[in-house]
């Protein structure tokens, strides 16, 4: 029987690459996104259903799930990929943008997951893959909101795996490094207030640092390949790193204490200590 993967945020980047990767290997694809008109090339393919889904809108979650059931019967894998990054001094962010970051990356992910749990429990099978980031294990300056959400994704995924494995459902976390995606475009929410002069040196130094470290990002297909491996993993592994930079940075983070790792990162960025 042909298996089916349900993907959120499939209009670009990792979501789109994963849709193509699994499709090429014979899977049915449910590609969901806020604006389905952005997926013309997916919509024209056989074994692909393109549906509108906004993780902030429960009605679209339910309708996309129901459409998947109607078209393919059973969903075997849920890929929670939709999300974006809010960066900037916390003091500059209005509360509405703080709430939107957490609503999208955390509450929305939980809402989509919850929508599938009854089916997975009934089937006594299924895999949930949550896209985290290297930013779910380490932080960069000005990422209070983004890293807060990704640390949350790591924690909720780890805890969720206990309660779901009791009836045969596996939870996996994928941690990409720098990837060629739209993260710097519509998937990036930068907020700054230049009148808050004390933060501006950090803002400038961070962007300069990102310009250097982000000059050779991995292709989204690298992450799709890791997602494929995570879906098919039977070893009980929970976390999967994606990209050479993710491997190196997270190995260093694990090996070093806080002062050593954070001190080295501050030195690379050019931030002094006070």
| 21 catalytic residue (yes or no) | no
Catalytic residue among 11, 12, 51, 132: 132
| Burial (0-12, 13-18, 19+ Cβ within 10 Å), 194 | exposed
Catalytic residue among 21, 150, 157, 172: 150
| 215 catalytic residue (yes or no) | no
| 146 catalytic residue (yes or no) | yes
Catalytic residue among 12, 146, 172, 218: 146
> How crowded is residue 273: how many other Cβ atoms within 10 Å of its Cβ?
7
Active site residues: 132, 146, 150
């Amino acid at each position: 029987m042909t298996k089916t993967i349900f993907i959120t945020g499939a209009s670009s980047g990792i979501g789109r690459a994963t849709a193509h990767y699994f499709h090429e290997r014979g899977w049915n694809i449910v590609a969901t996104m806020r604006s389905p008109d952005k997926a013309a090339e997916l919509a024209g393919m056989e074994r692909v259903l393109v549906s509108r889904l906004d993780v902030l809108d429960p009605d679209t979650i339910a309708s996309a799930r129901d459409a998947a059931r109607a078209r393919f019967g059973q969903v075997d894998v849920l890929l929670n990929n939709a999300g974006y990054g809010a960066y900037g001094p916390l003091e500059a962010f209005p509360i509405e943008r703080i709430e939107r970051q957490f609503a999208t990356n955390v509450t929305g992910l939980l809402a989509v997951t919850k929508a599938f749990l009854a089916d997975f429990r009934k089937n006594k099978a299924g895999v949930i893959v949550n896209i985290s980031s290297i930013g779910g294990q380490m932080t960069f300056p000005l990422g209070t909101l983004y890293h807060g959400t990704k640390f949350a994704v790591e924690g909720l995924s780890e805890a969720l795996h206990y309660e779901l494995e009791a009836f045969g459902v596996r939870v996996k976390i994928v941690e990409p490094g720098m990837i060629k995606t739209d993260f710097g475009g519509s998937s990036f929410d930068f907020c700054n207030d230049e009148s808050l002069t004390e933060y501006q040196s950090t803002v400038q130094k961070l962007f300069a640092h990102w310009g250097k470290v982000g000059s050779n990002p991995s292709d989204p297909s690298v992450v799709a390949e890791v997602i494929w491996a995570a879906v098919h993993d039977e070893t009980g592994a929970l976390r999967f790193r994606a990209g050479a930079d993710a491997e190196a940075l997270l190995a260093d983070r694990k090996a070093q204490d806080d002062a050593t790792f954070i001190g080295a990162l501050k030195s690379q960025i050019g931030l002094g200590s006070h």
